């Protein structure tokens, strides 16, 4: 049993990027699929797929730039902000600017999961799940 499945997801993505793996697989959930959807929409990954069955797997296809020998990952940093031991909630005026707008903050709001920019435009606060750049 994992105490922090989102932290595990971020760690698996980070480890796969370090070794240059084309895909990463992990146990699926609706929250993880929604995070993968945000990463896809923002251009950090190429694709994701949720398998069927009793224990579905979430397979994320990672995105790289450059030639084969000099490939650089699209995600240079991915980190968990709000952890089970320390939740981080922010109001609509305290939503973090990640890398002066070059990165994204993934937030859980009353209207669902969204980027920090979307939450700022809608005037919503919530829990800061993680940051990506």
Residue ranges of the chain that CATH labels 3.30.1490.10:
81-133
pLDDT tens for 10-56 read 999 999 999 999 999 999 999 999 999 999 999 999 999 999 999 99
- The reported pLDDT for the residue numbered 94 is 97
- The reported pLDDT for the residue numbered 1 is 57
pLDDT tens for 25-34 read 999 999 999 9
What percent of the chain is predicted at pLDDT more than 70?
A: 99
Residue ranges of the chain that CATH labels 3.30.1370.30:
1-73
- In this prediction the pTM is 0.95
Query: What is the CATH code of the structural domain delimited by 81-133?
Result: 3.30.1490.10
Q: What are phi and psi of 43, to 5 degrees?
A: 90, 20
Which class would CATH give 1-73?
alpha beta
């Amino acid at each position: 049993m994992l105490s922090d499945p989102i932290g595990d997801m971020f760690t698996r993505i980070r480890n796969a990027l370090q070794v240059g793996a084309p895909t990463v697989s992990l146990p699926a959930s609706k929250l993880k699929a929604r995070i993968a959807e945000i990463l896809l929409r923002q251009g950090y990954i190429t694709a994701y797929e949720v398998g069927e069955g009793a224990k579905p797997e979430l397979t994320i296809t990672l995105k790289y730039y450059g030639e084969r020998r000099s490939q650089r990952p699209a995600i240079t940093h991915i980190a968990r902000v709000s952890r089970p031991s320390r939740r981080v909630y922010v109001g609509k005026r305290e939503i973090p600017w990640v890398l002066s707008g070059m990165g994204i903050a993934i937030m859980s709001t009353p209207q669902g999961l969204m980027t920090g920019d979307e939450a700022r435009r809608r005037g919503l606060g919530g829990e800061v799940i993680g940051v990506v750049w």
